[in-house]
Amino acid sequence: MVKTLEDLAKIKDKAKATLSARSAEQSTKVVIGMGTCGIAAGAREVMAAILDELGKRNLAAVTVAQTGCVGLCDKEPLVEIIRSGKPKVMYGRINAERARRIVAQDIVNDQIIGEWVVGTKA
Amino acid sequence: MRLFRAHVLVCAGTNCSLKSNKAVQDRLVREVERRGLADEIKVVETGCFGLCEQGPTVVVYPEGVLYCRVTPDDVPELVEEHLLKGRRLDRLLYREEVPAAGAAVSAGPKAFQTVPEMNFFRGQVRIVLRNCGIIDPESIEEYIANGGYEALGKAITAMTPAAVVEEVKASGLRGRGGAGFPAGLKWEFAAKAKGDTKYIVCNADEGEPGTFKDRLILEGDPHAIIEGMALAAYAIGATQGYVYIRGEYGLSIDRLQKAINRAKEMKLLGRGIFGSKFDFDIEIRTGAGAYICGEETALFESLEGGRGEPRLKPPYPTDSGLFGKPTAINNVETLASVAQIIANGAKWYRGFGTERSPGTKVFTLTGDIVNEGLIEVPMGITLREIIFGIGGGVPNGRSFKMAQSGGTSGGCLPAALLDVPMDYDELAKAGAALGSGALLIMDDTHCIVDIARVFARFFMHESCGKCVPCREGTFRLHEFVENATKGKATPQDLQTVHALARTMALASLCPLGQAAPVPLLSTLQYFRDEYDQHINEKRCPTGTCRGLATPAKALSAAGKGA
């Protein structure tokens, strides 16, 4: 039901997220290690948790991508947060619950969770 | 809200559906499920992406990787490599010759990874096609997400109908159906016409052979037409709109009907739109595939249930159109441009194209060209840029012979006119027309006289027979060209044809008869030597016309003999 311009804006905001995945201009990127090692350690559940958490918070401007094994199999599942103009942060041994906290604390509030960090790279 | 890490867009335009896109889509959905990726990957059916020659196309976002000529059997590998392992599947990537134009040595085909880096898209400006191939055409939410219905909301809540007319007038938008009449002026006439009942009609009869832009716009972005019609209705004071659409356009009709239904559910059509007193509704009427019904007055006759024959003008449709009421009738592409003009302003629109032909134009590329398909470019671009830049040139190492602009009723342009700017006035000076935006490219293996015969036969077949100049004229034109292909035409016939063409242009009732001689006259103007060879020497230089002598080198070049 669209009766006013505000109604239209509401629908737009809700639906915008669906489309933002179809443009390559996003500022924040989450990369999940999805090699055999990552998947065996539970990366799929991590991916699902991150997508779900981002969805709940309407954070459509975040790209979620996967990558292969980076060589740190022992620390899988690995989750990397990449922001333009900031060092990359890689978290290790992430499970679904920790993944949700990464979304809340790092992606939303911009605070690195030091205890899980495996490394950073400028 | 559910988020997905990747969106897989499958083109479901008509051209791709002819190449089993449905099977590709079904297989994709099955494979994604089988791999347990259904929560992470969304498969979306979109409208035409424009690269019809390479279809069925699949685009994977967020990276924007384009895969071409995807078969159902490619799908398991595609899903495993790209979606599961995150590696691009090299063998299905789009390939383009680089450098594209003007260079002597080609570096060989380069595989293009993503959409923005392709020559095919770099030269384009997409205003009408901005949603095509990006959104799901059956989702009103996705249309709204891309700014849809904002122009309508803005017009109804903040603009008077006269202000909407003024904005469209100021934009300089000209009718995209072919005639190029200023759309704003047409609306002004309809708005000022006396009468309580007025109509807005969308002409989606697209009968011009080689044109399929309206079909793909309707399929790819049906809500843009609805919004454009609603804006037109608001501007002229109409409450009822009709879309007259070809009966053969099954997918367009289906998607447009779904879009109308959704818009009604959302109260974007119906009574009191945006809480105002403005009521508007749209109905679809299908045509039965007669070329003449694309002519506006014949279209009205057909809409009213009569026989599709043109009326005498004046009175013009803006005074007495459908059911004798003031009617604004616009082409699909024109209406699809309107919402963008209202949303962004006339000044913005004038930033594209040329002074007398502002904005962009959608072209359909067919014939001997590498990238057959659908493109949108600023007005005033040259034919050379379209054919050799975006279109990728003439395939199979052949050379360019001619391009017919504007469909079968358009003129034929030789290589010497490749640098003519493509806008209404410049093309008219060259004896051609921008017309509906069809571009038919032919290489040097084609015989001009034989092609002219095919055009002439088309008009003979499609003449409705109401007026003598057209009914008899199209018959005689065809007779002349057919005789020429058999070596039976005489130099005297050429003079008769010119006189006949003049009579048809002056005396025919409607544009069908007026335009029928155009392709013949333009080929006579630019390829006279080929006619002379047929008529005087009884020789067909390309070896197309059977029964005429053919030079041996033409035979071997065309692969038709020893």
> Is B135 inside a domain boundary?
no
> Is A114 inside a domain boundary?
yes
Confidence category of residue B55, pLDDT binned at 50, 70, 90: confident
The string of pLDDT tens digits covering residues B221-243 is: 999 999 999 999 999 999 999 99
Provide mean pLDDT across the span B90-119. 65
Rounded to a whole number of angstroms, the distance from the CA of B280 to the nearest CA of chain A is 14
pLDDT at B547: 81
Please name which of B364, B335, B359, B331 lies closest in space to residue B50, comparing C-alpha atoms.
Answer: B364
Confidence category of residue B360, pLDDT binned at 50, 70, 90: very high
Q: CATH number of the domain that B491 lies in?
A: 1.20.1440.230
Domain that holds residue A111: 24-121
CB B329 within 8 A of CB B146: no
Distance of CA B397 to the CA centre of its chain: 27
Please indicate whether, in this complex, the C-beta atoms of A55 and B114 are within 8 angstroms of each other. Answer: no
pLDDT at B453: 95
CB B287 within 8 A of CB B293: yes
Please indicate whether, in this complex, the C-beta atoms of A19 and B146 are within 8 angstroms of each other. Answer: yes
Please name which of B541, B544, B539 lies closest in space to residue B554, comparing C-alpha atoms.
Answer: B541
> Is B142 inside a domain boundary?
no
Our count of domains for chain A comes to 1
Please name which of B392, B369, B379, B380 lies closest in space to residue B439, comparing C-alpha atoms.
Answer: B369
Chain A residues within 8 A of B157 when measuring between CB atoms? 5
- Please report, as a single letter, which amino acid is at residue B483: N
Q: CATH number of the domain that A99 lies in?
A: 3.40.30.10
Task: Assess whether B251 and B391 both reside in one domain.
Answer: no
Among B401, B428, B443, the domain boundary falls at: B443
Task: Assess whether B289 and B411 both reside in one domain.
Answer: no
Q: What residue of B is the nearest CA neighbor of A36?
A: B85
> Is A72 inside a domain boundary?
yes
The string of pLDDT tens digits covering residues B127-147 is: 999 998 888 999 999 999 999
Task: Assess whether B416 and B464 both reside in one domain.
Answer: no
Chain A residues within 8 A of B266 when measuring between CB atoms? 1-2, 11
Judge if ipTM > 0.95.
Answer: no
> Is A11 inside a domain boundary?
no
The string of pLDDT tens digits covering residues A12-69 is: 888 877 777 676 556 788 999 888 888 899 998 999 999 999 888 888 778 888 888 8
> Is A6 inside a domain boundary?
no
> Is B562 inside a domain boundary?
no
Task: Assess whether B375 and B296 both reside in one domain.
Answer: no
pLDDT at B558: 56
Of A19, A47, A67, the CB nearest to B142: A19
Rounded to a whole number of angstroms, the distance from the CA of B502 to the nearest CA of chain A is 54
Phi, psi for residue B405 in degrees, rounded to 5: -105, 130
- Please report, as a single letter, which amino acid is at residue B562: A
Task: Assess whether B277 and B375 both reside in one domain.
Answer: no
pLDDT at B182: 96
Task: Assess whether B204 and B322 both reside in one domain.
Answer: yes
Provide mean pLDDT across the span B18-42. 90
Task: Assess whether B231 and B314 both reside in one domain.
Answer: yes
Domain that holds residue B64: 6-122
Please indicate whether, in this complex, the C-beta atoms of A47 and B149 are within 8 angstroms of each other. Answer: no
CB B278 within 8 A of CB B153: no
Among B443, B470, B500, the domain boundary falls at: B443
Cα A43 from Cα A46, distance rounded (Å): 5
Please name which of B374, B376, B494 lies closest in space to residue B55, comparing C-alpha atoms.
Answer: B374
> Is A29 inside a domain boundary?
yes
Rounded to a whole number of angstroms, the distance from the CA of A39 to the nearest CA of chain B is 11
Which residue reads 């490599």 in tokens?
A: B81
Per DSSP, the three-state class of B184 is helix
> Is B428 inside a domain boundary?
yes
Please name which of B182, B185, B184, B164 lies closest in space to residue B174, comparing C-alpha atoms.
Answer: B182
Among B122, B137, B160, the domain boundary falls at: B122
Mean pLDDT, chain B, whole residue set: 90
- Residue B98 confidence (pLDDT) above 70: no
Task: Assess whether B210 and B266 both reside in one domain.
Answer: yes
- Look up residue B262 and give its two tokens: 């959704």
- Residue B253 confidence (pLDDT) above 50: yes
Our count of domains for chain B comes to 4
Q: What residue of A is the nearest CA neighbor of B36?
A: A44
> Is B134 inside a domain boundary?
no
pLDDT at B297: 96
In this structure, which long-range contacts are made by residues B476-483, counting pairs with CB atoms below 8 Å and at least 24 apart in sequence? B476/B500, B477/B501, B477/B504, B477/B516, B477/B517, B477/B520, B478/B453, B480/B456, B481/B449, B481/B452, B481/B453, B481/B456, B481/B520, B482/B453, B482/B456, B482/B457
